[in-house]
Structure 1
């Protein structure tokens, strides 16, 4: 048996005995039907970007040297908050969470309605987001 055939047999034999665990999807992305709200759930947190806001945006914090007012963050536990940001999670190709539908992922529950998007975490804390209004609870 030559060296090439031996290595091929050895590799096939080794890999036939190794069990690879199924890799769980670590993140998911979606957008609302209006395409105004885009969200990413990853690493036990959710971030939603509201592209257009017609309501009043709170003043920018002094420690925020980037963009302000359109990003909303929520961890698996605790209250949500507006984020300082220099990027976006908006992706025109992400799936649409249709009105009346609910997404459950990594402990977050998000429901899309014509009036906006509501997301909650394991503590039942979260937000209601729309073009006109952004409310934390």
Structure 2
């Protein structure tokens, strides 16, 4: 739970001091936020069952993913959202790069990686962390 609380605190504290940078997929189902050298992506809806909620998570669970520039990606327990309708659209076939992250928007989903080549493939029908 401490990691999730710190993530929430970091986002709210950082967001009040800086302009947030993000993008969304053409479908409008995935929104990604780059903040404090971390990447977070949220899904508006999925057709897959969510994994079991961790016992120490009393907040929203299953639709938000985060990673740092090094190390593995993970789902997060959260009380906020990365969804902002004003984000620009990352068109299919286009790539977004920033701070050691690379995201490619595909018709099959959004593929994002960090410097260690860890990341995710997200779509409405599947969410894979690698």
Structure-2 residue corresponding to 1:49: 42
For the Cα contact (< 8 Å) 1:101–1:111, is it kept in 2? yes
- Stretches of structure 1 that go unaligned for 5 or more consecutive residues are 1-24
With normalisation by structure 2, the TM-score equals: 0.84
Runs of 4+ in structure 1 deviating by more than 4 angstroms, as ranges, are: none
Deviation at 1:117, TM superposition (A): 0.1
Deviation at 1:66, TM superposition (A): 0.4
Deviation at 1:44, TM superposition (A): 1.4
Structure 2: distance between partners of 1:68 and 1:103:
26
CA RMSD of aligned residues (A): 1.2
Structure-1 residue corresponding to 2:90: 97
Structure-1 residue corresponding to 2:76: 83
Deviation at 1:27, TM superposition (A): 4.9
Residue 41 of structure 1: SS of its match in structure 2?
Answer: strand
Greater Rg over alpha carbons, structure: 1
Matches within 5 A, 1:1-137: 27-137=20-130
Structure-2 residue corresponding to 1:10: none
Deviation at 1:59, TM superposition (A): 0.5
For the Cα contact (< 8 Å) 1:109–1:119, is it kept in 2? yes
Residue 67 of structure 1: SS of its match in structure 2?
Answer: coil
